[in-house]
Structure 1
Amino acid sequence: MTRRVALPGAAELFRTTVPRTDHANAPGTEQVAPAAQPAAGRSGSGRRKHDSKITVYVSDEELLGLEQARLALRADHGIVVDRGRVVREAVAVVLADLDKNGADSVLVRRLQEPGE
């Protein structure tokens, strides 16, 4: 009898995180509604390996709001996402609005508000 431990193979360790469509209707598979596409063709990058990273500091209230939004997406709409995905989608929406509306965009108006 060998004393070697059985380890998972490379296929299990480096599996893709992109949903596969060949078993989409299998029992127990969750169906997730597609998100609305933001204007100007921008969309969040979704669940994939990202090459760049930033650190963003948020207040306790902002973090709580983000978590509540994530939970509402799950409970009310059946969309299971992590906070990072919500943030990436929000960034895509704001940037699309900036591309489309320029000086009249929500981002420009909010950044021009006094007290910011």
Structure 2
Amino acid sequence: MTRRPSLPGADELFRPTSPAESVAPGWLEAATAPGRRGTPRQKHTSKITVYVSDEELLALEHARLSLRGSHGLAVDRGRMVREAIAVVLADLDEHGEESVLVRRLRHDE
């Protein structure tokens, strides 16, 4: 008798998946400009490092779990951050000086 565990095969580990359609809630539709979307889960060619506080990381993880539990959306933190960036940049494009980003950054000065 062998003591080796039974592991899944390559077909099970590397199966093709199709991207899920995402629908923006009504309050986000106004902030998203055409063509400005976060990218779905895929291999990205560029990387940045962002440092966050423990509280910010905990809030991000809580939001991820809320998306999964309350809304049935299983997304990773990277996808959430890319979508948040897309929303903020679309708002900046649309509202300029009155955008949430400009107002928040000015408040920090």
Bin for the TM-score computed over the shorter chain: 0.7 to 0.9
Q: Which runs of 4+ in 1 moved over 3 A?
A: 11-16
Tell me the equivalent position of 2:83: 89
Deviation, 1:59, is 0.2
- The within-5 A match list for 1:19-98 is 19=18, 34-36=22-24, 38-41=31-34, 42-98=36-92
The sequence identity of aligned pairs, in percent, is 62
Shift in CA distance, 108/49, structure 1 to aligned 2, threshold 3 Å = same
Counterpart-to-counterpart distance in 2, 1:33 and 1:12 = 23
How far apart in 1 are the matches of 2:23 and 2:55?
A: 25
1:50 is paired with a residue of what secondary structure?
coil
CA distance in 2, matches of 1:39, 1:59: 27
Shift of 1:35: 3.0
1:72-105 superposed Cα distances (whole Å, 9 cap, x missing partner): 0000000000000000000000000000000000
Whole-angstrom distance in 2 between the partners of 1:102 and 1:43: 18
Question: How many residues are treated as equivalent by the alignment?
Answer: 95
The structure whose residues are more often helix, as a share, is: 2
Task: From the CA coordinates, give the structure whose radius of gyration is larger.
Answer: 1
1:15 offset after TM fit, Å? 6.0
CA-CA distance at 1:39 after TM superposition: 1.9
| RMSD of Structure 2 on Structure 1 (CA) | 2.4
Where does the alignment leave 5 or more consecutive residues of structure 2 unmatched?
A: 1-8
Residues 1:76 and 1:104: Cα distance change in structure 2 (over 3 Å): same
Unaligned runs of 5+ in 1: 1-7, 21-31
Change (3 A) 1:63 1:92: same
